Amino acid sequence: MDYNLLEEKWIPVLWKDGNSNRVGIIEALECAGGIRCIALASPLDLFAVHRFMLTLLYWKAALAGGVEGVRESLLKDEKTPSAVLDGIRTEAHCFDLFDEESPFLQDPSARAAKEKEKKSAGSLFAELATGTNIAHFHHGDDEDMRLCLPCAALGMLRLVPWTQSGGAGLTPSVHNAPPIMAIATGDDLAATLGLNLVPLDVEAGEAKWSGHFKPTDSTKPIPYLEALTWNPRRIYLSSPRAGVCWYCGSRNIPTVGKIVYKKNEGTKANDQEGKRTPFIWRDPSAFYLDNEFKSMNSTKEDQAAENKDLERLIPVRSIVAMENENHQGWSLVVPTTNPKNNKTFDHRQLELKDFSPETIRALMLAKRSSGRSEGFNGWDKLKPGHPAGIRLFVQAAIKVLTYADWAALSNAAYREMHDSPAAFNVFAGLYWGLRDNKIGGLPSRNVAWLLLKLMAAVPAHVRVLYPGAKFYPLDLIPKRQLNERHRTSPYPASFPLGDRLESALRGAVDSNLRKRNPEPVDWIGLCHDLDQLLD
């Protein structure tokens, strides 16, 4: 099997004429003037592919008048110089994912790893749930996760700019925790590449496309080709077999399963008097204070939610931004990272005109001014009290509804009112009856419907009102823990809605019933708080 990133069609692009398809690296560089943009949804993938193309241009720039010469050719003639393309082509063997001797960004000396030492192919993606990484959108299983070859290529390319720390000595990228990065965007791919290809004020050094990556001297300024191919892992992909890709969903295509994914001791940070010091390297797309090598990153979820983390960009500069001072049109990639373990838990992309303080401040959202500003989703601060209407509703349900009524409601689990006529009749009789009697402060229709379905799910002796009932199912739903220090997980959990809410509440009620001494359920409190949370 071979899969060469120069020729295989793995990069989705949008052409200026409106067509879209996939191209290999050579076609992308050769036709960059006709390509509107790379069409990848994830900001991390998008950045990683641009970064890879730029690294190739830096690598062979000397063949066409240096970095300045290639930049000019891309910006003025919308073309990658043919000498650069030829230079890349002559070393095509470096870009095969499965080359016997020099597989791309992999370390053949790590291939002998035992099966149980291998890790999920999803380790290449910070947002896939693997090991101790947080689940973003995806919940899967380390054993079965497979990636198609275009997605495996994206994952490999993320290694250089986006590797986050892991446990047990898994080091992050050369610039440490994933920083905020900016890409200047042009009208076509040629312009975008030209804008971001800026002269760098350090030695070029050598690109290291394969093998066990070791820096030449990590205490000295890092040469740029070394930094741009810095590989904090020792990886080896397994041989592909047909399967389903867990990242893009393609079926019946060659996929890779578990991979060798080891730490790389050679990329450990330098210690100075017991303190880790950043490498002497400034990523051209990241932001730094003058004379510093610590890249700006975003760490606080509450700030990220309102773009307030962008404020720290005002006093700092990126090399690319300085080289394109008057350019308008930027794409900002903002990973948010937990400073305790350098793992990212959120990634977002923002488009902005420039980096003036006015533009940045305009992106910051005004403080939310709804009555629920205390805590996200407002659900950790509820007004105390049980209005009379709610109490009457719950009392009436318990008093009036018959065994057959509860059975009908029990059959309506996870259904809407219009999907379950028998239960709806029961509901309507009770609810509209109370309304007709001018009882105010009733729960909303949806909350009343949900509460009756939950009450119907328990045995009759649990469906009673005890004074001082303590069991409150909402306590069992994971909450956001923005300011709670002693919690083990600092990650967000949004309030579930719809079937997810019903399922969580059913689970909570059920877990109480399975205790040796179930506690009486606070039905009125539950109804009251749901009414506040949902409406």
Binding residues for Zn ion, per CB under 5 A?
A: 148, 151, 245, 247-248
Distance CA 271, CA 218 (A): 11
Q: Which amino acid is at 483?
A: N
State the minimum distance, in angstroms, from the CB of residue 141 to Zn ion: 17
State the minimum distance, in angstroms, from the CB of residue 104 to Zn ion: 17
Phi and psi of 243, rounded to 5°? 180, -165
Q: Give pairs for 398-402: CB < 8 Å, separation 24+.
A: 398/455, 398/463, 398/464, 398/465, 400/430, 401/426, 401/430
Q: Which is nearer to Zn ion, 145 or 177 (CB)?
A: 145
State the minimum distance, in angstroms, from the CB of residue 189 to Zn ion: 22
State the minimum distance, in angstroms, from the CB of residue 154 to Zn ion: 8
State the minimum distance, in angstroms, from the CB of residue 151 to Zn ion: 3
Q: Which amino acid is at 210?
A: S
Which string of DSSP letters, residue by residue, matches 361-421? HHHSPPPP-STT-SSGGGTTS------HHHHHHHHHHHHH--HHHHHHHHTTTT--GGG-H
Q: Which is nearer to Zn ion, 151 or 409 (CB)?
A: 151
State the minimum distance, in angstroms, from the CB of residue 99 to Zn ion: 21
Q: Which is nearer to Zn ion, 67 or 149 (CB)?
A: 149
315 DSSP assignment = T
> 414 CB contacts (<8 Å, ≥6 apart)?
499, 502, 503
Q: Which is nearer to Zn ion, 248 or 269 (CB)?
A: 248
State the minimum distance, in angstroms, from the CB of residue 238 to Zn ion: 15
Bridge partners (DSSP) listed for residue 183: 331
> Which string of b and e fits 362-394 if b means at least 16 CB within 10 Å?
ebeeeeeeeebeeebebbbebeeeebebbbbbb
Q: Which is nearer to Zn ion, 148 or 198 (CB)?
A: 148
Q: Which is nearer to Zn ion, 155 or 335 (CB)?
A: 155
Work out the angle between the directed axes of helices 445-456 and 388-400 (0-180°, nearest 10): 40
Structure tokens at 515: 């205790």
Q: Which is nearer to Zn ion, 147 or 447 (CB)?
A: 147
